[in-house]
Structure 1
Amino acid sequence: MKTINDKLPMLISVPHGGMTIPEVLQKKCLIDPKGISMDGDTWARELYDFRDLVEEYVDTDIARLVVDMNRNHRDLPPSNPDGVVKTMTVDGKQIWVQASGLSQREIQLLIQQYHGPYHERLQTASKNKNVLMGIDCHTMLDIGPAVGGNHWEERPLFCIGNRGTKMGNQLDEPTTAPRELLLQLQKSLEKEFRAFMPKETQQPLVTLNTPFSGGYITYYHGNNSDIPWIQLEINRKLYLPDDEKMSLIPEEFHRVRLNEIRDKLYTAFKSLF
């Protein structure tokens, strides 16, 4: 890998790797630490720890179920229980003592204290003249709801999105990164991770814009900065043990795996420049 003085010209965003429930809300939260971790992007801060290897790195220790940095600040409960401040986990569990969730005052304070500053940091980082692109980094479950269907299906090892079509072209809004850049990253990931592909799977190694094309971070900053933005999703089966065996802190075996994945990701990113 490169040294701290020879960084890749990238901005890395890791919005869902945090575990912290603010102290004033801890007695109201019904979800245990393991549930908090599984509701977010489990071990994402370890997986995407490029803070000393890229020009700009932005993450948060606040848990996704408290404040979702990848939602519009106006996307609120009760109209959306999976909005910027949530009332239900991804698997339908009630988060707060009150089923209706937090008060409007609490919600607005959380947005002011955490959501706003996160996006301000991204805006500032994107203006660094040495930054040529941004990647918003996530993880995804191995099996999830099919796009446009009512069944669940196996997911690819990687999904990269620019809010376009399955081919990376513009759909009903401007793409947040050129198709050519998406295809270049796809090719690099396929080269680095070919040996990781399970022989029995029917899924491609890397898909474009399906099942995820990009969330609020990709949309907002891709349309309000001068750099291209890509959302990257990594399948958790690459590094995460069975749910029953999962610990909050990766054990040594899993750290080795995380390091291996991160090294290969770094090589794939490097090939873009």
Structure 2
Amino acid sequence: MDKVLSFHQGRLPLLISMPHAGLALTPAVEQGLVEQARSLPDTDWHIPRLYDFALELGASVVAAEYSRFVIDLNRPDDDKPLYAGATTGLYPATLFEGESLFKDGQVPSADERATYLERIWRPYHDTIRHELARLRATFGYALLWDAHSIRSLIPHLFDGKLPDFNLGTFNGASCDPALAERLQGVCAEFPQYSHVLNGRFKGGHITRHYGNPENHIHAVQLELAQCTYMDETEPFAYREDLAPLTREVLERLLAAALAWGKARYGA
């Protein structure tokens, strides 16, 4: 199996995770996908490009190389559901619209999927765990930002149009409430965008599992509506006319998180 993730170690107490940005497929998954899945429509498109300022900022960044159609890095390894109602699991069986992901009889075998768990899922989570431990040992705390995006209209998964910026803190359990309040304040400074805290998206496995405010690890998920920076239909083009302002909001959000951490911990 080829390289399963990319990782850059930064100089700030901030780790940005991009678990759904990968495009690589294993042979079994590629051969088994239905035609409408071959364009990988449920990808968090262009997230590394949208956040490329983070490297210069000094953040650590980990990003998946393999598609969520192979294995979903934001689900627990025991595949327990995270949300009530329609959702996707550790090994997705359907597209976001509800159609089957694989052709009849061409779902990857249990042995193949066990390999995906050991060789794709576990290295990604080992990287998060080790980097958070390093950051906490170095700075006394760590900030984890789980970066996602999604089409703004998916009737099978949620009613109506999503807000543009969907912040998730697992109903306040994954980060200090003061940090969440600071982030909401930044979003409110951009009235052209809608935002919500712990709405439809409260944070997936990464936010819930690693966020531990009592242990000075503060995790936030941002589910960004793709209409804010790209075309939501094929070929899923990045929009240079839309993305710059969205990037400005992202930069402000991360700067606010870092400023909060410095004020709270003095580092």
Which residues of 2 match residues 1-273 of structure 1 at below 5 A?
8-31=12-35, 35-36=39-40, 38-49=41-52, 50-75=54-79, 82-99=88-105, 101-127=107-133, 128=135, 129-130=138-139, 132-144=142-154, 152-164=159-171, 168=172, 175-191=173-189, 193-194=190-191, 196-197=192-193, 205-223=194-212, 226-243=216-233, 246-247=234-235, 250=238, 254-255=239-240, 257-272=242-257, 273=259
Deviations 1:111-147 (A, max 9, x none): 1110000000101111222463111111133234599
Give the whole-Å Cα distance in 1 for the aligned partners of 2:149 and 2:182.
20
Deviations 1:184-221 (A, max 9, x none): 01101221x32x33xxxxxxx22110011111011111
Cα pair 1:67 1:85 within 8 Å, conserved: yes
Q: Which range moved further: 122-131 or 12-21? A: 122-131
Could you say if the C-alpha distance between residues 210 and 117 of structure 1 is closer, same or farther in structure 2, counting changes exceeding 3 Å? same
Q: Which runs of 5+ in 1 are unaligned?
A: 169-174, 198-204
Given residue 246 of structure 2, which amino acid in structure 1 is its aligned partner?
A: I
Give the whole-Å Cα distance in 2 for the aligned partners of 1:264 and 1:232.
12
Deviation at 1:43, TM superposition (A): 2.0
Deviation at 1:39, TM superposition (A): 1.1
Could you say if the C-alpha distance between residues 45 and 240 of structure 1 is closer, same or farther in structure 2, counting changes exceeding 3 Å? same
TM-score (normalised: structure 1): 0.77
Cα pair 1:46 1:258 within 8 Å, conserved: no
Could you say if the C-alpha distance between residues 5 and 41 of structure 1 is closer, same or farther in structure 2, counting changes exceeding 3 Å? closer
Q: Identity of counterpart residues, as a percentage?
A: 23
Which position in structure 2 is the counterpart of 1:172?
none
Give the whole-Å Cα distance in 2 for the aligned partners of 1:5 and 1:97.
40
Which position in structure 1 is the counterpart of 2:263?
none
Give the whole-Å Cα distance in 2 for the aligned partners of 1:160 and 1:221.
16
Given residue 97 of structure 1, which amino acid in structure 2 is its aligned partner?
A: K
- Match of 2:39, SS state, is helix
Give the whole-Å Cα distance in 1 for the aligned partners of 2:217 and 2:99.
38
Give the whole-Å Cα distance in 2 for the aligned partners of 1:211 and 1:154.
11
Kindly tell me the number of residue pairs found equivalent between the two proteins. 241
Given residue 82 of structure 1, which amino acid in structure 2 is its aligned partner?
A: T
Deviation at 1:266, TM superposition (A): 1.0
Deviation at 1:31, TM superposition (A): 4.4
Give the whole-Å Cα distance in 1 for the aligned partners of 2:228 and 2:104.
37
Could you say if the C-alpha distance between residues 223 and 99 of structure 1 is closer, same or farther in structure 2, counting changes exceeding 3 Å? farther
Deviation at 1:91, TM superposition (A): 1.5
Cα pair 1:72 1:84 within 8 Å, conserved: yes
Deviation at 1:248, TM superposition (A): 5.0
Cα pair 2:32 2:107 within 8 Å, conserved: no
Q: Which range moved further: 22-31 or 86-95? A: 22-31
Deviation at 1:105, TM superposition (A): 0.2
- Match of 1:139, SS state, is strand
Could you say if the C-alpha distance between residues 144 and 86 of structure 1 is closer, same or farther in structure 2, counting changes exceeding 3 Å? closer
Given residue 183 of structure 1, which amino acid in structure 2 is its aligned partner?
A: E
Give the whole-Å Cα distance in 2 for the aligned partners of 1:45 and 1:66.
19
